[in-house]
Amino acid sequence: MNLRDPNSMNRILGIVLKTGVVLSGVIIAIGTVLFLTNHSLDNTSAYLAYYPVLIPHGSFPVSLSSISSGLTSLDPSSIIQLGFLVLLATPVARVALSLFLFEAEKDRRFVYLTATVLAILLFSMLATPLIPLFNG
């Protein structure tokens, strides 16, 4: 594959984006099916009702450790959360792959720009939860 050809790079990056979205959708669908099989459909209104005390996180934990422990027990909420994490990671993976592709074609200007974008993305995901101002 000729990386100097913009169509080749677009094709590679398109595959990454499509794969991430499809994988995320499959994981969320599996979690939804498990949720529906574990819960009675007779009481669906209880799950859909608005409870201000439970909004925005519902009654399930959302930390990475709780998601990983929930995945080992096939907890439907944890599986759905994993699907959303995959969906959120997809554009980050695209930027990281762009960095390597620009490096492979020796385009320094775009390497620096893409590295800056990746650094901003990673900072916003990893560092802002540690800043008290952003913890509400």
> Domain locations in the chain?
6-135
Q: Decide if 79 contacts 34 (C-beta within 8 A).
A: yes
Q: Diameter of the chain by CA atoms?
A: 60
Q: What is the pTM of this model?
A: 0.75
Shortest CA distance to 78 belongs to which of 45, 130, 35, 21? 35
Higher pLDDT, 60 or 84: 84
- 65/21 Cα distance (integer angstroms): 24
Mean pLDDT of the chain: 81
The model's pLDDT over 79-113, given as tens digits with 9 standing for 90+, comes to 999 999 999 999 999 999 999 888 888 889 999 99
* Cα(72)–Cα(47) distance, integer angstroms: 24
